[in-house]
Chains A and B, each alone.
Chain A
Amino acid sequence: MTEEHIFDLLPGYALGILDDEDRLHVTTHLMKCSICARELKTYSAATDQLAFGVQLESPDPNLKMKVLQSVEAAARTSAPVEHDSRLPFFGKIGANWQESLRILLGRQAGLALAVLAIFLVLFLGINNYLLWQQVNDLQVRLPGDNVQFIRLDGTDKAPESIGYMIVFKNNRYGSLTVENVPVLDEAYQYQIWLMKDGERTNGGVFSVNDSGYGVLQVYSKQPLEIYDSFGITIEPAGGSPEPTGERILDGGL
């Protein structure tokens, strides 16, 4: 016997306002009914639009700054931290590790086990580090389906410098942002080179402000994603037909 569809309950489910019994009934039904699942999708999409019907209110102008302060405060606490005994897991081990080690080392089998455990920890630690690097690299290179985020690292000439080239899928516009770049004399500017198969193409010149921060918006006749890599050199103001100065940043797709 086929269970009847539950179309009448789907609007309330999409809004998240069903009472417990109905919500459970819908959730269970959706797992086995693709027709209702498709129907729900349309109601969920409609629910997403409801906010656009509200009367807009103007917030206090200071709210913008409060938002920024909250984000900055959160960023400070969200910075990567080393594992330490403040974390619950490590705290539990930390309280007992001396006692556990003393007992283990007091027995031959325990000693062998301890040595093995140390090797295992070292192996896992190195493995974890390598994986972390890969994940970090992927996060930077592929943050979304429609945009590529290419990191440009400072060369030996400017190791503190960092840059990002944002390239949109099938789009001829891109955005370059650099930070901690040396401030140049007025007679010089930075020039970005778009590289493909060893051929360098002028991507434009730019300067940086007193903090070493600068931006360049690039437009090309072809999508920027066709290029293999990007490099930034110091050139006479206005740019050069070919790179002549020192390379300070580079990175590739």
Chain B
Amino acid sequence: MDIRWVEVFNLEFSALDDEALLAVIAAEFGRPSAESIVNEAVLALYDRYGKLIYSVAYHSTGNIETAEEITQDVFVRVCKNAHTYRSEKGKVINWLVSITRHSSIDELRRRRIRPEHTQVQWIEDGWIESMVETSLPDSPEQIAEANIQQHQISQIIAELPLQQRQVLFLAFFKGLSHSQIADRLGEPLGTVKSRVRLAMQKLRDRLIDLGIVE
């Protein structure tokens, strides 16, 4: 049998995919003798998604220090709950974003922070900086495909009317309910509900057209 192997040092975890990294963390977290292994796996995840997680936390809370605290907390939660991750329920990145979003909203409510700004902070020009680092084990074609997909998503959002993007931002990042958004914007509740519904319908339908959502 022709077996080709490549010996690598200090690069091995960047060669693992997200699920494998979580598997390593799930098996090793809390074992004193495996601290270096867990650290390497966490750093690999951070290198890939740390910026995205921090950005979600920052846009939710609007505060750098709080966003940093949430980012740290997210990775701790990931380590403690890695064994609960199920790939059939979604990608690792979606799991991470979900944890980040809920942690951020919980923090907003716990601290009773009233979001001061209601300005839309979606990416403006449809261009999205690559969130998938080149350290992923996928082929260049797969990395390019992931970046194109993220670019498409940002474009769909950018194409929504400003008022719809605004309510989506307040709902997704600030965790505000329909009535809270209506109160914040000084708009009728029915109008806010319509904007949320229309925005989500367009987003969902376009994602289905692109094959990103089934």
Chain A residues within CB distance 8 Å of chain B = 8, 11-12, 14-19, 22, 42-43, 45-60, 63-64, 66-68, 70-72, 74-76, 78-80, 139-140, 143-147, 149, 162, 164, 166, 168, 173, 175, 177, 179-180, 194, 201-207, 209, 213-222
Contacts and interface: CB of A to CB of B under 8 A. Distances in A.
A136 to B, nearest CB: 10
Given A51-B172, A52-B128, 9 more contacts: A14-B200, A70-B72, A143-B27, A162-B33, A166-B16, A173-B137, A217-B6, A217-B15, A221-B2
Contacts of B124: 55
Contacts of B76: 70-71, 74
Given A43-B204, A203-B5, A71 B19 contact: no
Given A68-B39, A139-B83, A204-B3, A42 B12 contact: no
A17 B175 contact: yes
Given A17-B176, A57-B54, A214-B9, A42 B158 contact: no
B159 to A, nearest CB: 11
A66 to B, nearest CB: 6
B107 interface: no
Q: Which 10 A-B pairs have the closest CB atoms?
A: A11-B200, A204-B5, A143-B23, A53-B157, A46-B204, A215-B12, A70-B72, A59-B54, A78-B30, A45-B213
A45 B52 contact: no
A154 B198 CA distance: 60
A54 B5 contact: no
A146 B85 CA distance: 13
B136 interface: no
Interface string B193-207: 100110111011001
A150 B73 CA distance: 30
B56 A213 contact: no
Given A19-B177, A70-B73, A8 B122 contact: no
Given A17-B178, A168-B20, A221-B2, A46 B9 contact: no
Contacts of A216: 5, 7-8
A26 B52 CA distance: 31
Nearest to B82: A143
A66 B16 contact: no
Nearest to B9: A215
A27 to B, nearest CB: 15
